[in-house]
């Protein structure tokens, strides 16, 4: 048997022509069913589709080994569990094909439908749709599949439009479209309006009153959790949940609809976006309010003032310079910034707070009491260290070498090793050409040629991997060396006046470090650079 050189020694997969199964009997296949909701009418549809698939398989001589069922919309196949299991079974050879009642039952999006068919084809499996009499084994150019998929997608758009129109009409009439009402409300008996929930409405009022009395969102959330009061979904309270309740205009008796929508991104994933304001539907007095307009406006003002206060504090000159990068030299844990309320102001001190760093020893390795450092002292130590380390390029390089595995003193040996690998790979390429020539001239047999080519290709693959790893290391070294020079030149222009720089420029200098370790006295013991 003659084998061309470009096939010999390669690990190509063998092509499986699914058309060969057209006349075979007893082939193991899977059935796929998708319904949109868990309504009783849809559950009946599942049983009807099961019977249809079983009868079809029996009549046409297929062995139906499993039926895959997903309760999902007609979009986004990546969100369905059973269809993913179906792909795995096809890949493992447990099923040789898939049958569905109709193409719309697999998906209502053209790209998803094509992706399903191609995924099955990659695993050597076929796809059949009973209603359209479609069989992927006879549709090489996918023309019929695209036509059927386009019709399914059009039907989804039409159905979606009908549902949207119905929802818009309900919204304009002041009726609700939400299946799960906001905390404090429940659905009316006809499920068309919001009604006050006698169990949760009083709790909502307690949240409002506590916030207006000065409680923060975290304190309220902790209090609710301690009382064993669940959220509307039965979970634990958080600051985000409290913020949502405090800022939701639904408690004013207002219904807002059509404010957002879901779209598909370039990867086929769903993403929620906000609609233009002029498309929003806003209806007042659609249900009984739980809060007055004055209370609601007061809460929004308090939340805004608190947000501005914290934002101002974070952006002021007292922001912690070592934030997120300081580490404890004893336990290796993170060091956090905090502020203490001063009982009395010192003369010349304009702040009501004293700013500190602390290590809480979360991993248990810290001995003694929690360690505290004055923020100003530590920040000055950081700036002095930067002045010291960046004043001499040799010192800077030594520090970086100490904590970077990529930097090596034996750079010449790495370059020499790379040159040697290239020479050896070149020799293997020459040997491959000689083996091909020897085979073509009948100097060696096909068995000798195959064995020798396999050995040469394996050797080349091993050497190629080594060369790739070496190139990666050397490229990293070159990139780090370039960055060291750039950072050194940048920082060196600042170090003479580093303590008087604007705070933002100080942050920029400190950002070159990923970790800075300090001991109990506040001295810097080690650093790690961000490369």
Condensed to tens digits (0 to 9), the pLDDT of residues 396-423 reads: 666 655 555 444 556 667 778 888 888 9
> Is the confidence at residue 500, as pLDDT, over 90?
no
Q: Report residue 58 CA to chain centroid gap.
A: 44
On whether both 204 and 265 belong to a single domain, the answer is yes
Does 11 fall in a domain?
no
> Is the confidence at residue 312, as pLDDT, over 60?
no
> Is the confidence at residue 5, as pLDDT, over 70?
no
Phi, psi of 28 (to 5 degrees): -80, 120
Of all helices (H) and strands (E), which one includes residue 525? strand 524-529
On whether both 231 and 349 belong to a single domain, the answer is no
On whether both 350 and 496 belong to a single domain, the answer is yes
On whether both 141 and 191 belong to a single domain, the answer is no
On whether both 258 and 197 belong to a single domain, the answer is yes
Question: What does the pLDDT average to over 253-263?
Answer: 78
Does 251 fall in a domain?
yes
The alpha carbons of the chain give a radius of gyration, in whole angstroms, of 35
Does 312 fall in a domain?
no
CATH of residue 73: 3.40.50.1390
Does 305 fall in a domain?
no
Least confident of 150-154, 178-182, 273-277, 303-307: 150-154
Q: Which of 271, 300, 329 is the last residue of a domain?
A: 300
User: Residue 39: what pLDDT?
Assistant: 59
pLDDT band at 309 (very low <50, low <70, confident <90, very high): low
- How many angstroms separate the CA atoms of 80 and 193, rounded? 32
> Is the confidence at residue 14, as pLDDT, over 90?
no
Residues 422-445: tens digit of each pLDDT: 898 888 888 888 888 888 888 888
Count H helices and E strands in the chain, helices first: 13, 17
On whether both 268 and 209 belong to a single domain, the answer is yes
Output the six-digit token pair for 419. 């040159």
Cα dihedral value 66, 67, 70, 74, nearest 10: 120
Output the six-digit token pair for 74. 């007609």
On whether both 355 and 277 belong to a single domain, the answer is no
Q: b or e along 3-34 (b: 16 or more beta carbons within 10 Å of the residue's beta carbon)?
A: eeeeebbeeeeeeeebeebeeeeebebbbbbb
Does 261 fall in a domain?
yes
Does 2 fall in a domain?
no
DSSP assignment of 27-91: EEEEEEEEES---HHHHHHHHHHHHHHHHHHHHHTEEEEEEEEEE--SS-GGG-HHHHHHHHHHH
Question: What does the pLDDT average to over 205-230?
Answer: 91
Per the listing, tokens 């989804």 go with 156
Does 367 fall in a domain?
yes
Percent of the chain with pLDDT over 90: 14
For 505, the domain range is: 319-531
On whether both 332 and 375 belong to a single domain, the answer is yes
On whether both 293 and 223 belong to a single domain, the answer is yes
Name, in order, each residue with C-beta under 8 angstroms of 369's C-beta and a sequence gap of 6 or more.
none
User: Residue 505: what pLDDT?
Assistant: 75
User: Residue 314: what pLDDT?
Assistant: 45
pLDDT band at 189 (very low <50, low <70, confident <90, very high): confident
CATH of residue 230: 3.90.1750.20
What's the sign of the alpha-carbon dihedral 140, 145, 147, 153?
A: negative
On whether both 330 and 289 belong to a single domain, the answer is no
> Is the confidence at residue 216, as pLDDT, over 70?
yes
How many structural domains comprise the chain? 3
Per the listing, tokens 């001589």 go with 61
User: Residue 159: what pLDDT?
Assistant: 58
Q: What is the DSSP pairing of strand 27-35 with strand 270-274? A: unpaired
On whether both 193 and 151 belong to a single domain, the answer is no
User: Residue 315: what pLDDT?
Assistant: 46
Q: Which of 300, 332, 357 is the last residue of a domain?
A: 300
On whether both 347 and 442 belong to a single domain, the answer is yes
- How many angstroms separate the CA atoms of 42 and 98, rounded? 21
User: Residue 400: what pLDDT?
Assistant: 59
- The residue with greater pLDDT, 180 or 22, is 180
Residues 448-464: tens digit of each pLDDT: 888 888 888 888 888 88
Name, in order, each residue with C-beta under 8 angstroms of 18's C-beta and a sequence gap of 6 or more.
96, 97, 121, 124, 125, 126, 136, 137
Residues 71-107: tens digit of each pLDDT: 775 455 666 788 888 999 998 889 999 999 888 777 7
Q: Which of 104, 123, 158 is the last residue of a domain?
A: 158
Does 473 fall in a domain?
yes
Residues 334-379: tens digit of each pLDDT: 888 888 877 665 555 556 778 888 887 765 566 656 678 888 899 8
User: Residue 279: what pLDDT?
Assistant: 77
Cβ neighbours of 126 (radius 10 Å): 23
pTM: 0.40
- The residue with greater pLDDT, 177 or 63, is 63
pLDDT band at 201 (very low <50, low <70, confident <90, very high): very high
Please choose, from the candidates 105, 88, 14, 96, the residue with its C-alpha nearest in 3D space to the C-alpha of residue 52: 105
């Amino acid at each position: 048997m003659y084998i061309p050189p470009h096939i010999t020694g390669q690990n190509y997969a063998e092509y499986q022509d699914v058309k060969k199964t057209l006349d075979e009997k007893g082939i193991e296949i899977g059935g796929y069913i998708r319904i949109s909701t868990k309504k009783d009418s849809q559950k009946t549809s599942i049983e009807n589709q099961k019977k249809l698939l079983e009868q079809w398989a029996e009549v046409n001589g297929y062995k139906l080994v499993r039926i895959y069922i997903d309760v999902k919309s007609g979009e986004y196949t990546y969100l369905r569990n059973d269809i993913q299991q179906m792909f795995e079974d096809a890949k493992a050879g447990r099923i040789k094909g898939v049958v569905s009642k109709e193409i719309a039952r697999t998906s209502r999006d053209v790209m998803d439908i094509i992706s399903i068919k191609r995924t099955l084809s990659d695993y050597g499996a076929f796809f059949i749709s009973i209603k359209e009499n479609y069989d992927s084994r006879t549709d090489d150019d996918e023309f019929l599949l695209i036509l059927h998929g386009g019709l399914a997608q059009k039907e989804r758009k039409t159905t979606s439009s009908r549902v949207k129109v119905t929802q818009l009409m309900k919204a304009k009439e002041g009726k609700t479209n939400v299946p799960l009402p906001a905390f404090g409300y429940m659905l009316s008996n006809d499920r068309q309006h919001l009604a006050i929930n006698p169990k949760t409405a009083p709790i909502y009022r307690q949240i409002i009153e506590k916030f207006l009395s000065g409680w923060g969102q975290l304190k309220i959330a902790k209090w609710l959790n301690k009382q064993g009061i669940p959220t509307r979904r039965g979970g634990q309270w958080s600051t985000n949940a409290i913020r949502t309740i405090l800022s939701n205009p639904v408690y004013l008796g207002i219904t807002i609809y059509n404010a957002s929508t879901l779209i598909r991104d370039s990867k086929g994933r769903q993403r929620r976006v906000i609609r233009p304001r002029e498309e929003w539907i806003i209806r007042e007095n659609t249900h009984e309010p739980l809060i007055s307009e004055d209370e609601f406006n007061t809460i929004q003002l308090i939340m805004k003032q608190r947000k501005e206060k914290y934002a101002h504090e974070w952006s002021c000159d007292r922001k912690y310079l070592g934030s997120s990068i300081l580490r404890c030299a004893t336990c290796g844990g993170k060091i956090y910034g905090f502020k203490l309320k001063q009982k009395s102001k010192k003369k010349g001190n304009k702040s009501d707070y004293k700013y500190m760093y602390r290590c809480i020893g979360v991993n248990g390795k810290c001995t003694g009491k929690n360690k505290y450092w004055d923020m100003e002292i530590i920040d000055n130590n950081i700036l002095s260290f930067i002045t010291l380390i960046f004043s001499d390029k040799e010192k800077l390089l030594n520090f970086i070498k100490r904590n970077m595995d990529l930097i090596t003193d034996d750079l010449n040996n790495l370059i020499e090793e790379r040159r040697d690998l290239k020479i050896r790979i070149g020799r293997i390429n020459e040997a491959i050409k000689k083996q091909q020539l020897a085979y073509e001239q009948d100097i060696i047999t096909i068995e000798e040629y195959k064995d020798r080519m396999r050995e040469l290709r394996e050797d080349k693959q091993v050497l190629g991997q080594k060369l790739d790893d070496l190139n990666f290391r050397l490229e990293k070294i070159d990139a780090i060396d370039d960055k060291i020079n750039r950072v050194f030149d940048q920082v060196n222009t600042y170090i003479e006046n580093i303590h008087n720089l604007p705070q933002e420029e100080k942050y920029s200098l400190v950002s070159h470090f990923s970790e800075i370790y300090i001991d109990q006295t506040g001295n810097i013991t080690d650093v790690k650079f961000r490369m």
